Structure 1
Amino acid sequence: MRGTVRRSLITGTVFALATTLPFGIAPAVADPTPDSRHLPLPDQFTVLRTGSRGIEVHNAKKRLKGLGFFPGNLSPLYDSALRMTVWAFQKANGLKPVDRIDLPTWQALLRPRRIRPLVTYAERERAEIDLRRQLLIAWRDGKPVLVTHISTGARRPYCEKGHCGFASTPVGDYRVGVRVPGWSTGILGAMFYPVYFNGGIAIHGSTLVPRFPASHGCVRVPLHNALDLYRFLQPGTPVYVRRPEALAGRAMRVRGERRPRIPKARPVEAPHRSYKNSSRPGRSTGHRTGGDAGGHR
């Protein structure tokens, strides 16, 4: 009985925090300080997993949305969209991505880390792609407004459907170019709302977004985040791709340093459209492979 009451109190706390935050805007929270006096006891939480259902799942989704991690619908079901959203939140908070909301994840939901930019000289409205943590962060007015789990280039050679290359998502500064609404197909598979930013490399929704880099070079995002990113990433929006461990030991850029010029996005021929222009993935008429862009080399 006591454990049930404690769980209810904590759930109510999470719900109260969620309802006071503007949806889609991540708050500028301070990094948590290790103070055991304010940490909840282990029996105050219920571990949630795929298939779990109830008010605690709904409240967790609402809290994540308030922090800028969009879990899709706010139903009381722990579905695949919430599963990948939890991965993103765990990675952003220095936790190992697991298929559950456990005690460390509940504690992070109560006291989340501040999301820090990868690029200090970046424009205030931009997308940042973290290849190490496999995260994409959309920024507006200097604030993170959408954080999502991604899967980028697998960093290995491939030969598929008569096309060979090296699966890589190159580090660099780019800008959004061609955008294609709905489902489209390229030489290596299907894409949902692709946004090209580096030749044939695009950010696009996919049915297959594992916890590891697995694409041919594109940036795969969960289907439930693809349309929001498509609307955010207008032509000309900067896209910064970084691998933070590769920057270890290099001096941080300081304020006042000259900002490098970001080249315009290289033109790419829009891929063949074989799907209806619909935001409903189930209306596609062909086979969806979760593949990548038609112009990718």
Structure 2
Amino acid sequence: MSSFPRILIAAVLTTVLLALGASQAMAQGPPKPGPGGDAPGAGSDPGSPLQQKPSKTAIRLGGLHHGDLTVGNRIEVRGTLRPYVDNQRVTVVLNRGKQTAKRKTIAVEPKRGNGDVGEFEFSKRLIKPGRYNVEAFHVETGILGGSKATSQRFHIRYPDPGLGDSGDTIKIFNSLLGDLGYVNDEGATYDEATARAVLAFHKVNKQSLTDHASSGMFKTIARGGGGYHLKHPEGGHHVETDLSRQVMVLANGDRVDEIYTISSGKSTTPTILGKFNFYWKQPGTNDHGMVNSVYFLGGYATHGYADVPNYPASHGCLRSPIPDSLHIYNWIDIGDAIYVYH
């Protein structure tokens, strides 16, 4: 046989064998995955997305006493996010009633000694009354799902301050009084200056004439209540004296600067009513025991005096406690108006 026929037969046989092999492979189906889950010889796709993990957020509150927070203390929030994943953040929301009192987004850090858990912290000093609670939530990312935690509700507790008490809570109390214009030294002690400010508050709000505060009063001033409403906001730098409540108010336009307890003229020598202007200042103590006097009509003046009861007792002047008199004297300018009314 010649070489050509041999070559032709070999080519035909090769073609037949290849066709048979392909037919068997199709009948067997695709290759089965290996032990690692990939088909034999196959590698992982670097462009495929990572599977998102579910998350869990939890919080606990610190600083509470019997479920409430003492005024001026900090509410301490400590939280966890599971599992820990790099570059995650949690938003903490402090609610006061239906309003947001504070909102802060915080980076989650790995917990010391347990790198599988993330942790975060938040704190806030609270003074205003209300029903509070805390929420913390993680917004889902490509690799970690969203989750949320909500705390129990709590309120602010206000003590009953009294003469001689001291500490941070009293300093807050004094500062709140000062913010409303009730003059005191705004220190950390409930002293005689605080007592006079408390008495002035009770007079303004037509309450019992005592220099002892209550938790209710503390709560009122903590929300900004209990101040004085001026009758003459058009008066510029002026003084208002309400004889029915036995208080004197120093004001700049429509803003109350300072409020003092006073004693005005008794029924037989009443204080004159109306609008007047201060015309003379007499420093020190005069022959009548009047201290740091500022006159507004004839012998009518505002001045310090040793005896300042809670009722009208003067000969027509406006008496103030001697410790308050110098400040009143320095505050008033010649020409300032004074409005005296019931």
TM-score normalised by L of structure 1: 0.61
Match of 1:58 in 2: 171
SS of 2:197's equivalent in the other structure is helix
Match of 2:310 in 1: 211
SS of 1:100's equivalent in the other structure is coil
Q: CA deviation at 1:142?
A: 2.4
Deviations 1:108-157, CA, capped at 9 Å, x for gaps: 2112145322236x4222101000011111111321111111111121xx
Deviations 1:213-236, CA, capped at 9 Å, x for gaps: 222211111223212211221111
Amino acid aligned to 1:168: P
Indicate if the aligned counterparts of 1:42 and 1:103 stay in contact, CA closer than 8 A. Answer: no
Q: 1:151 aligns with which of 252, 257, 263?
A: 263
CA RMSD of aligned residues (A): 2.9
Q: Is the alpha carbon distance of 1:124 and 1:98 closer, same or farther for their aligned partners in structure 2, counting shifts above 3 Å? A: same
Residues 117-132 of structure 1: pairs in structure 2 closer than 5 A:
117-119=230-232, 122-132=234-244
Of Structure 1 and Structure 2, the greater strand share is in 2
Q: Does 1:224 align with 2:323?
A: yes
Indicate if the aligned counterparts of 1:125 and 1:139 stay in contact, CA closer than 8 A. Answer: yes
Aligned partners of 1:55, 1:194: CA distance in 2, in Å? Answer: 36
Indicate if the aligned counterparts of 1:3 and 1:43 stay in contact, CA closer than 8 A. Answer: no
Match of 2:285 in 1: 183
Indicate if the aligned counterparts of 2:206 and 2:245 stay in contact, CA closer than 8 A. Answer: no
Match of 1:11 in 2: 72
Q: CA deviation at 1:98?
A: 2.2
Q: CA deviation at 1:43?
A: 8.7
Q: 1:171 aligns with which of 273, 277, 300?
A: 273
Indicate if the aligned counterparts of 1:50 and 1:78 stay in contact, CA closer than 8 A. Answer: yes
Q: More relative contact order in 1 or in 2 (CA 8 Å, sep 6+)?
A: 1
Size of the alignment, in residue pairs?
205
Indicate if the aligned counterparts of 1:48 and 1:101 stay in contact, CA closer than 8 A. Answer: yes
Amino acid aligned to 2:228: I
SS of 2:251's equivalent in the other structure is strand
Aligned partners of 2:209, 2:194: CA distance in 1, in Å? Answer: 12
Indicate if the aligned counterparts of 1:204 and 1:226 stay in contact, CA closer than 8 A. Answer: yes
SS of 1:152's equivalent in the other structure is coil
Indicate if the aligned counterparts of 1:195 and 1:230 stay in contact, CA closer than 8 A. Answer: yes
SS of 1:84's equivalent in the other structure is helix
Aligned partners of 1:7, 1:94: CA distance in 2, in Å? Answer: 30
Match of 1:195 in 2: 294
Q: Is the alpha carbon distance of 1:12 and 1:219 closer, same or farther for their aligned partners in structure 2, counting shifts above 3 Å? A: farther
Q: Does 1:98 align with 2:200?
A: no
Match of 1:266 in 2: none
Higher Cα Rg: structure 1 or 2?
2
Q: CA deviation at 1:52?
A: 2.0
Q: 2:190 aligns with which of 78, 86, 101?
A: 78
Match of 1:139 in 2: 251
Q: CA deviation at 1:91?
A: 2.7
Amino acid aligned to 1:220: R
Amino acid aligned to 1:151: S
**Identity across matched positions, percent:** 25
Indicate if the aligned counterparts of 2:131 and 2:155 stay in contact, CA closer than 8 A. Answer: no
Match of 2:219 in 1: 107
Aligned partners of 1:48, 1:42: CA distance in 2, in Å? Answer: 19
Match of 1:116 in 2: 229
Aligned partners of 1:132, 1:170: CA distance in 2, in Å? Answer: 13
Indicate if the aligned counterparts of 2:159 and 2:218 stay in contact, CA closer than 8 A. Answer: no
